[in-house]
């Protein structure tokens, strides 16, 4: 299953780097959502993917930083979801290291997802 492989990779990144850094930040199109979706039937298979993502985020103690508006909408606009977001882990403080996560339209009309950006939290001390 592709999603399981993705989470094995993420776990490997955390296992490899968290002892050598204060923060780990991952971002992208996770093809699942940790926020409510719009336009999907209750028995849609996407909800199982969302549940698996939530389980991994909780197991790995990750913080999600996501925009409040949809990052993907179906062509006809009947469905929309927040599929693009950041996951982070602050090894020292345990708190979130990102804020002000926003979604904006891509300048390239071929993109079917919006651009997501976030700011690094002020006051995070640099790694020693």
| pLDDT for 22 | 80
DSSP class of residue 127 equals P
| pLDDT for 94 | 59
Question: 2-120: which CATH number, 3.40.50.10190, 3.40.710.10, 3.40.50.720, 3.60.10.10?
Answer: 3.60.10.10
The residue ranges of every structural domain in the chain are 2-120
The model's pTM is 0.85
Contact call for residues 72 and 80 (beta carbons, < 8 A): yes
How many whole angstroms separate alpha carbon 36 and alpha carbon 51?
11
Q: Of 43, 98, 102, 100, nearest to 67 (Cα)?
A: 102
> What does each of the 128 residues of the chain score in pLDDT, given as a tens digit?
688 898 999 999 888 988 888 888 899 999 999 999 999 999 999 999 999 999 999 999 898 999 999 999 998 889 999 999 999 888 666 566 788 899 999 999 889 999 999 988 766 555 55
């Amino acid at each position: 299953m592709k999603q399981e492989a993705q989470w094995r990779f993420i776990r490997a990144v955390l296992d490899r780097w968290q002892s050598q850094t204060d923060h780990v930040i991952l971002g992208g199109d996770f093809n699942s959502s940790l926020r409510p979706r719009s336009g999907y039937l209750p028995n849609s298979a996407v909800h199982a993917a969302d549940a698996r993502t939530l389980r991994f985020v909780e197991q790995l103690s990750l913080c999600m930083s996501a925009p409040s508006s949809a990052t993907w909408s179906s062509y006809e606009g009947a469905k929309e979801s927040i599929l693009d977001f950041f996951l982070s882990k602050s090894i020292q403080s345990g708190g979130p290291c990102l804020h002000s996560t926003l979604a904006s339209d891509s300048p390239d009309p071929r993109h079917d997802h919006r651009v997501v950006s976030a700011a690094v939290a002020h006051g995070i001390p640099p790694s020693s």
